Structure 1
Amino acid sequence: MRKKVCRFILHLLGWKVEVSVPDYPKCVICVAPHTSNTDFFLGKLAYLSIGRHAGFLIKKDWFFFPLNIIFRSMGGIPVDRSKHSDLIDQIVGKFNKHEHFNIAITPEATRKRNPDWKKGFYFIALKANVPIVLAYIDYKEKSIGLKKTFIPTGDFEKDLIKIKQFYKNYHAKYPDLFAIE
């Protein structure tokens, strides 16, 4: 039922969802571009519309009552950027603990222009030995997709260039805030 409702909402809004990757039991979903809070809602609707569930990282500042209850129920994991933490190891622990665990991460880590993507999504996948699914939200085409599987090699710099190249033809809600270089 939830799947149909999400599909219906996306259809009403004029969005389509394209999927060409398997439903992995475990993966890191790299989502870009991320320039608007709307990205979260569209991405969540799209993933639910194909019958899949993924947790997500979200700034700790959003975890106040009653939003904390809603976000936790949706799979939200608060991130406190003011503290140095072992977030990568915590998320890897979740992969090791569960037979099925997917997590969506926006490597830009902000809605502002940031060509220096965070490394966490990559090292979580590498340490947990899971694939990275490259997912996009394209406002120009009104398309949301899970289009490519990327297996990290351990050479972050080279791999990040390839990952960013994947996103070069997708259009953010606010294009001037999206940077891959």
Structure 2
Amino acid sequence: MPNKPELLNIPADVPRMGNTVSQWIGRKVLQMMGWSFEGEYPQHKKFVAAVAPHTSNWDFVVGMAAVFALRLKWSFLGKHSIFVWPFGGLLKKLGGIPIERSRSHGLVAQLGDRFAQSEYMALAMAPEGTRSKVDYWKSGFLQIANRADVPLLLIYFDFSRKVIGFGPCMAVSDDLDAEMQKVRNFYAKIPGKYPDNS
């Protein structure tokens, strides 16, 4: 049986969710799958977290286990079609924000406003936007961080080492093309579950 994953040091003022039972479940899932953490949790109260590479459904399993294990109260975006009974209410309670891609106009402004109105908010997003292979990453996560004037945290799932890494936290300038290149360079050598989909 793998060792228990060491938990990150979370600042005392970070809002938490769950309890010791859900934390135990998260840690147990990571332990059975052989995953661990590395890096440092950011000191910022508001940020967008890019989570990559996103190449399989297992990313969601590992990600939710990490959220449970660390008792993080984060938000994430999801297709509105998954927010249905019997899991819709649970997903919202876990921080899910349903979006309808065909009506996504104005989403950046809406999320920017939500950041402005919140004392603490961490929004996790997958730059690829899908687990399938794409030629270009969507810039929505950069646009939101820039609009809300919050830093971007780079989180990675390294399937070769089974490590959930908390990488650098960077400011996002108005030059989104340059910022995207920085992000792509950071993730270039980190293998996902299915590297061919990266």
**Normalised TM-score (structure 2):** 0.85
Look up the equivalent residue of 2:47 and give its one-letter code.
C
CA contact (8 A) 1:21 1:149 kept: no
134, 137, 140: which one pairs with 2:154?
134
**Deviations 1:100-135, CA, capped at 9 Å, x for gaps:** 111100010011111311111001111111110000
Partner secondary structure for residue 96 of structure 1: helix
**Normalised TM-score (structure 1):** 0.92
50, 62, 78: which one pairs with 1:42?
62
Alignment of 1:77-116 (within 5 A): 77-116=97-136
CA distance in structure 1 between the aligned counterparts of 2:98 and 2:147, rounded to whole angstroms: 20
CA distance in structure 2 between the aligned counterparts of 1:101 and 1:9, rounded to whole angstroms: 26
CA RMSD in angstroms comes to: 1.4
Distance 1:48 1:17, change over 3 A: same
CA contact (8 A) 1:107 1:118 kept: yes
Q: Does structure 1 residue 145 correspond to structure 2 residue 165?
A: yes
CA distance in structure 2 between the aligned counterparts of 1:23 and 1:40, rounded to whole angstroms: 24
44, 59, 77: which one pairs with 1:24?
44
CA distance in structure 2 between the aligned counterparts of 1:84 and 1:28, rounded to whole angstroms: 18
Partner secondary structure for residue 103 of structure 2: coil
Structure with bigger RCO (C-alpha 8 Å, 6+ apart): 1
Q: Show the counterpart of 1:156.
A: 176
CA distance in structure 2 between the aligned counterparts of 1:117 and 1:50, rounded to whole angstroms: 28
Q: Does structure 1 residue 174 correspond to structure 2 residue 194?
A: yes
CA distance in structure 1 between the aligned counterparts of 2:169 and 2:104, rounded to whole angstroms: 30
Runs of 4+ in structure 1 deviating by more than 4 angstroms, as ranges, are none
The size of the alignment, in residue pairs, is 178
CA contact (8 A) 1:108 1:115 kept: no
Comparing 76-85 with 157-166, greater Cα deviation is found at 76-85
The answer for unaligned runs of 5 or more in structure 1 is none
CA distance in structure 2 between the aligned counterparts of 1:48 and 1:110, rounded to whole angstroms: 23
**Deviations 1:32-90, CA, capped at 9 Å, x for gaps:** 11111211121122133234221101111212111211110111111211224211111
CA contact (8 A) 1:125 1:132 kept: yes
Distance 1:43 1:52, change over 3 A: same
CA contact (8 A) 2:80 2:99 kept: yes
